[in-house]
Each structure stands twice: as C-alpha cells, then as structure tokens.
Chains A and B, each alone.
Chain A
C-alpha cells in the first residue's frame, strides 16, 4: 500500500489557484464568440454578409441587431462555424466565468431578510451558513455525457472542489444545490421533479450546459423539453456545450455568493432573457473578452 502514498506525494500539488487567481492554462475552456459591432470590415452597408454570417449558426445563437451581431450564450454549442468563417470570422473569447443569475434569483431578496422564508424565490438563496459547506446532488436529465463528465472532473485534483467546501452527495435529502445537466427528456421529468421536491429549502438549482438552458442542438421536440427550466425553477444558468469545469466551479461560487455572476447583458446578449430585472449591473464583474487567435 505504501507505493500509493509515495506516488501520491511524488505527483505533487497540481490544483488550480482559481478563484484566487485566474487560471490561464491552455485548453481549460472552449471559449465563446463575442458580440461584435457592425463596423468595418463587416459594415452595416453589407446586409448580405451579415445575414450569411448569422445564418451559419445552427442553433440561432447569433442575433442580428441594428448596429451589432449579438451572441446568445445559452444557445451556443461551440460548433465554431462562425469563428471559422473564411470571410468574416466572429471574434472568440477564451473566458470561462459564464454563470449568470436568472430573473428568478435576481428577484429574490438577500438571505436573512425579514420576508426571507416567505417566498419561493427566497428559498433559492443559500445564506451565510452555506458559504463553506455545500452539498450538491447532480441529476442527468438527458445529457450526452460531456457536461456530466465535466462536472465529474471537478473532483479531480486539478480542480478539487472539496477545498472550496463543495461536496457531491448521493441523497437529495442532504443536498443544498440541485445541479441539472441535459435537455430535460420527458421520461426523466418525474425523476427530476421528485429529486427537486426531496431537497430541503433553501435550495438552489443550477442548470449546466446549453442543452439544459435551451435544448442545444436537440431543441424542443416531442420527447424532450427545450431546457430544464420548464421542469424545475432554475436559479443559475451555466452556458457552454459542455461548460468547462472552471465554469461550473464559478457557478457554484455564484450560488454561494462568493463570486459575481457573469453580466451577459453588458455584452449585449438577448436582453429579454438576461437583462437584470432590478439588479445592480454596475457591480457585477463583467466577462473579459480576451480575444483568441
């Protein structure tokens, strides 16, 4: 047995410094296209080129606006078609702090308030006691396996989510966070509802991956929902197909109030979906679009 002790020690510590320091290691994120203004070389005067670029997106994640092309991260599946466009490639950002709060969460009063126990929305806020001991129940509602695998990667020493006080639990009775992956297949509906109901309040629901947010490439069909939001009330959304482990880690930190959610609205994403309902957009950390080659 001692061989394991020695080899374990010899491998040393490889854990990321995130969230204390940004993790810049290559290959930790697939990145996202960045909204771009309609200026040279993609001028407003060339509507054909703009439409052609927007239509390359298979899931409708690119949206043509009057003065820009927007990106809806909830739909992007990293097919890279827009980034690999020969004539007009979309700029690409290798960020990963993608988790955004839904309108449901933003509407919730901060924990500890007088009316905190009254509303459903308040039940979504994990208060101070949860900041360093949170248990997570993961449910697969029709995932292709990639999102689930990235969640699993959080346990490996590179990410080691235990150091931040997060633990996966097999039983929903002990869970504080319900983490859902997958598009929301109809045949998983009851299982997902039952799991959610078994989690005591306060509880937070995190939907992970483009499929869980918008149905992804599957979209809405007769056998699955376009996202799990129609089955359980989602508080935090993590876009990506799949979101890398760091993005999921960021979502967990957001859920416990230890990181600021991404402000997609500041990057002119589909406003009706992600614009703050009464929030303080100025205080939110915005995504830094460091452009990829």
Chain B
C-alpha cells in the first residue's frame, strides 16, 4: 500500500506498534494502533502535527472499533483516523481525555451508550442516560440491546436534585431548567455562587435524547436523511448535506455541477438566515426591544424567501444523495439576490446602530470570555472558535461542494467575548451574501441529481461527511450495508463540541450575564442531545 508522507516522521518507538494504511478517499490516513500506544500517538498527532481532535466513533462489529478522528487545521486538507480494535469481551480502553481534553464528552457518551469503560477518565456516569431515569448498564447502542425488551417508559425521578460541588460558607446553587425562562430548548444548568459571580456552571443535557443514532439503524439511507435534517431544524440543510456527502463518498457518486453550485447557494442562504436569528436572540437577551424586533423581522423575511424559493421555510426536503431533490429555476434564484441584498443592508444599518448603543455594548464587551488558548484546548468550532481567534472553517480547510473555488473570507476576532461573537455573526452574514451571489454567477444548466447507481453497483461501506454548518463543523459518520440500510450512524454536531466549553464563558461572570452569554453562544440543544 502506498504510504503518503505525513508532515513529520513518526517517532521510532511509535512506528513499531502501528500500521499506517494510506488513504481512504484520497485525503485520509488510517492508522491502526495498539491501545497501549494510543495516548502517545494522540500526543504526536495533536502536538507535533498540529491536528485537531474531531471526534470518537465507536462501532461494534465482530470486534470493537474505536475510531479517533483528527483533522488538519490548515491546508493541505488531511484527516487522520486512529483505529483501536479489541475483542467484544474487552470493554476497558485507555482514556485519552488527559492528553486531549475534547475527548472528555466523547468518552462519556461512549461509556453510557456502549458500556465501554475508559480507564483514567476523571468523570464517567450520568451523561446521555440520566441515572435517575435509566437503569445502570443498559448500553442502548449495543447490537444486543433489544429496544422491545427495554422498559418502555422511563420517568425521571421527580425528586432528583443536582449535585453541588462548591461547599463554602454562604455558597448556594441556582438550578435552571430543564423548563426555564421564556421559549427555550430544554437543558439544565446549575449555577453555583457565593454571591454575585458564578463560580461553577454545570450544564446537564440530553433531556431531549431521542436516540436518533439508534433509530436510524436499519432504516434505508434515504429515510435516515430525514433524521439528519431534524437533528437541528434551524440548520437542517447543512446536516442533510453532510449526510448526503457520506453516501456520495461510499457509492463514489459525482454530483452534477449545477447541484454543487445550488448546494452552496442554499447552505449560505441558511447561514445568513441563521445568523440573523442569532443576532435577534442576542439583542433580545439584552432587552433591546427595537433591535430584537428588527432583526427578527429580517429573519422572518429570509424565512419567507426560503419558503417561496424551495417550498419549505427551513429548507427541509432538499438535500439528497447525488445532488438535490429538486431543481430551482434560474429566474426564481436570481429573484432572491435583490431582496437578500436589501436585507443585508438593513442588517448592516442595524449593526451601525448597535455599535453606537453603549448600554448594549456594556452587556456584551468583556463578558463570557473564551480565550484563544481555551478555544484551542477545547478544539472549538464555528463562529465561537473564530471569535476567539481560531480561524477554523471546514469550507476553507476541507472544501466540499466546490467551496475551494469561491472567493470569501473567514472572519476572525481575537477577544473571545460576547461582542466578538456578535461581530463574527455580522461579518459571516456578509460573506454568505458574497457566496450566494458567486454561486449564481455562471450557474451551469443541467440536472441537479446524479443518476441513481444501478442495483449491483450499490456498495456497502462507511464514510465521513462534513459541512461547515452555521454553528460550526458538522461531522457525520455513516456505515451502510449492501442493501443500503444504515448499520452505524454517528453525528458529531458543532453544539456538542461547543457546549463542552460553555462553562468557561459562564464562570467568573455575574448571574445576570448568564442569559446574555447563553444567547451569544447561540447553540442548539437538540443537535447536542440527538
């Protein structure tokens, strides 16, 4: 097998115990290693090569397969998959959380859902499956788990109380959620304090766990795509696209040029709409009524534009393996540009008013800070990473749908506070408009969907698909069998990565800043919980 050189040679003591397997799909190195050298290998990949940890995919085949995903954070595009395999009886594996902090939640999730134990992990237990609702050791993602025999209805214990960590004279805890405030997604936050400032902010998620990854198993890939769209309804197209790309990689389908351009157009329309909504949320959280209303109106206009153009306000039912489910007329597409430009102009005018409003800026500046070092340690993604000076964008580093040919900037700020995050949202909205206009320039005619592969050409296999969703990198790992049914589906959504760092922003700031920090993060609970 051909050995593509990596940026740095493997250290002697490591090269003895691993097997380098060249590429998967051209850009991916697969390295199988023994569990004993896993930690050292991870340190080499992240620290010597400068790659970022992107996720852990556990698969139960004839053996356990633990796949650690790493991505290059600058060009050239490269993925490294580190594989650790073990017999099914072996359920204990070394934890890499000590050397890669991001792996923390991935390992906790695998412990809950697969019943694997990661030795050396500081805190396993109560994560996806809440201890007060599920019996211990159920491991629902395992093959042998029988949903029919599991207790059908789980009712969490009404007397459950969050565990306090801060024990100091005068310390008290403020539990928030899962049903709280106005209209918000269900999640629980325990804020601990001895007075004004929050000392510990402990989130508890997965109240909305619907087991998307489990119920996808056995479904036809085409139907599982509907699930992918509904992981986060606000960024449905980005998730649907990432899922469709996995299928295209597996079946080696080339999408028609018109479909690639339209995908970029729709993905950027979604980003523009999403960011406008996120801006409205931030204005709302600071009780700046007029600004919140104006941003919300612009968002509604973009929703209507999407609805008129595609039939659905949230772009459901468009992404498909091989292209798009339907074509969009050239005249209808062109008719979007002028109103979208006008919306962007109004958004820019809104930005100018906001930066002149000192009472608004006071609530955002130097509030909810995530430093660049923290962002790097937590391998943050999306606008939050970019507001902390981490210019990571999959459209730039791992281009798909022809993003490599477009002219756009990756806006970046360095302060990492709420105001930096707001500025990134505005700047990205401008870039989205640029990309939408470019996608329609020289839009080729032709089909928008590649012909269906013939029955005998249908390949079993697995692949990773990715998009830069409005909230950040969305990774989908899909394995299908020769009938086209899903064997394993693992979603690594941006919110799962970024919620992990939320406590950094919430801690050391005042109670009353909490809703503003929450809004300036603007994350989805649904895609985190799955």
Contacts and interface: CB of A to CB of B under 8 A. Distances in A.
A153 B276 CA distance: 13
A58 B223 contact: yes
A26 B156 contact: no
B185 interface: yes
B316 A188 contact: no
B180 interface: yes
B123 interface: no
B396 interface: no
A189 B207 CA distance: 9
Contact of A242 (B154, B231, B291, B314): B314
A187 interface: yes
A146 B156 contact: no
A146 B294 contact: no
A168 B233 CA distance: 22
Contacts of A188: 178, 186, 207-208
A143 interface: yes
Interface string A43-54: 000000000000
A206 B529 CA distance: 24
A168 B133 contact: no
A155 interface: yes
Interface in B132-159: 133, 140, 147, 150, 152-158
Interface in B300-322: 300, 303-309, 311-314, 316-317
Given A27-B304, A185-B207, A152 B526 contact: no
Contact of A144 (B133, B181, B231): B231
A143 B185 contact: yes
Contacts of A172: 179
Interface string B234-273: 1010000000000000000000000000000000000000
A111 interface: no
Nearest to A158: B300
Contacts of B210: 142, 183, 185, 218, 221, 223-224
Contacts of B207: 185, 187-188, 191
A20 interface: no
A203 to B, nearest CB: 15
Contacts of B154: 186-187, 189, 223
Interface string A78-104: 111101100000000000000000000
Given A221-B147, A221-B214, A182 B208 contact: yes
A14 B299 CA distance: 13
A80 B325 contact: yes
Contact of A31 (B158, B208, B311): B311
Contacts of A222: 140, 147, 150, 152, 211, 214
Contacts of B191: none
Nearest to B236: A146
A194 B158 contact: yes
A157 B294 CA distance: 8
A25 interface: yes
A157 B526 contact: no
A170 B206 CA distance: 22
Contacts of B293: 8, 156-157
B331 to A, nearest CB: 14
Contact of B184 (A4, A29, A140, A182): A140
B287 interface: no
Interface string A148-192: 111111011110000000001010100000000011011111111
B54 interface: no
Nearest to A160: B293
A219 interface: yes
B232 A144 contact: yes
Interface in A262-289: none
Contacts of A119: none
B277 to A, nearest CB: 7
A40 interface: no
Contacts of A158: 297, 300
A77 B308 contact: no
Interface in A4-45: 4-5, 7-8, 11, 14, 25-31
Contacts of A150: 313
A261 interface: no
A219 B52 CA distance: 36
Given A140-B186, A141-B186, A80 B312 contact: yes
B154 to A, nearest CB: 4
Contacts of B305: 27
Nearest to B226: A217
A245 B526 CA distance: 20
Contact of A170 (B133, B180, B186): B180
Contacts of B211: 221-224
A145 interface: yes
Interface in A108-161: 137-153, 155-158
Contacts of B314: 146, 149, 242
A163 to B, nearest CB: 13
B178 to A, nearest CB: 5
Contacts of B291: 4
Contacts of B155: 186, 189-190, 193
B233 A145 contact: yes
A159 to B, nearest CB: 8
Contacts of B223: 58, 217
B183 interface: yes
B183 A138 contact: yes
Contacts of B296: 153, 155-157
B172 to A, nearest CB: 21
A183 B313 CA distance: 20
Given A143-B208, A191-B178, A4 B316 contact: no
B307 A26 contact: yes
Contacts of B181: 170
A79 B316 contact: yes
Interface in B333-349: 349
B233 A80 contact: no
Interface string A212-239: 0000111101111100000000000000
Contacts of A138: 182-183
B215 A139 contact: no
A190 B158 contact: yes
Contacts of A143: 185, 208, 233, 526
The 3 A-B pairs with the shortest beta carbon distances in the complex, nearest first, are: A146-B233, A27-B304, A27-B307
21 contacts: A1-B357, A4-B290, A8-B293, A26-B308, A27-B313, A79-B226, A140-B186, A140-B525, A142-B208, A142-B529, A144-B526, A146-B230, A153-B299, A156-B280, A183-B210, A186-B209, A187-B154, A189-B156, A216-B230, A222-B152, A223-B140
Given A29-B307, A83-B311, A187-B209, 8 more contacts: A4-B290, A26-B307, A138-B182, A142-B208, A144-B232, A146-B316, A186-B155, A219-B215
